[in-house]
Amino acid sequence: MNWTTLVDPTLLVLHLHDPDLRIVDARFVLTDSVAGRAGYQASHLPHAVFADLNEDLADLSKIAQGQGRHPLPDASVFTAKLGQWGIAPQHQVVVYDGGDGSMAAARLWWMLKLLGHAHVAVLDGGSAAWQAAGLPESDEVPVPPSTAAYPGAYDAARIASDDDVAARLQDAPGWLVDARAEERYSGRHEHVDRVAGHVPGAVNRPFLDNLQDGRLRDPQALRDELLPLLGGHAPEDVVLMCGSGVTACHLLLAFEHAGLPGPRIYTGSWSGWISDPARPVAVTS
């Protein structure tokens, strides 16, 4: 096993009993915060543990600090959780959610990358693809072999802050890519955050444009579409954002799948940006 972006269900099933494999179910529904856990308890991939976006992959107590709707938990809290899940640096981790990876498999994939964990991949097509292939599931909740806290800390160089974004507002377009739907980016309709629009200078690439039938599209096709968005900026000079730092991780997964590694994630994203009313907001007609 040496999977670092995506793994196909038909390949994963061949390794279900590998002692170095760890599987994490990260299903989450924005409109129903308990639906993911309920789905997991009803049925999940064999040996999978459950990660809750709000409880395990974010620290909602930080929202009041202006860090967006899904602030990163402290690294020490996250590494302790990984230890409870039995995840150590030598393990191949596979993360999945209900479908395309955007809620919230790619978020956990990125958080592990922040710790320097190389062998972590998203199940392509998630539980929907697994079930469509008729592959085995279980309702047994495993008790993983708990280990010490995962050794490591977040790589701050892979994270963009409010100040990082504010300092680049005059840069030529292409350095900031927004993964939200066009109607939210443009300001025509905002059903999640209290302010509509986008960060001035950001270009729009809805994460759904990277998908076909719930799976990431062909790498070359993605590359042909993503690269022109950057306006000549190198991928490592690019920042990705969304509403709260979740689907931006899915966009990063698409970049890596397309052979364009290096963009940073703006963790606060739109909900963090608008926490300060002095920050500029752009809309499109």
In 3D, which of 56, 59, 42 has the Cα closest to residue 87?
56
DSSP 19: T
| The two three-digit tokens of residue 273, written as one number | 């940006």
**Radius of gyration (C-alpha) of the chain in whole angstroms:** 18
Q: 249 an active-site residue?
A: no
- Alpha-carbon span 128 to 134, nearest angstrom: 10
In 3D, which of 237, 4, 267 has the Cα closest to residue 116?
4
227: how many CB neighbours lie within 10 A of its CB? 16
- Catalytic residue selected from 45, 105, 128, 242: 242
Contact yes or no for 203/227 (Cβ under 8 A): no
- 247: amino acid identity, one letter: T
In 3D, which of 64, 123, 69, 114 has the Cα closest to residue 93?
123
Q: 247-257 vs 105-114: helix axis angle to the nearest 10? A: 70
- Residues with catalytic annotation? 242
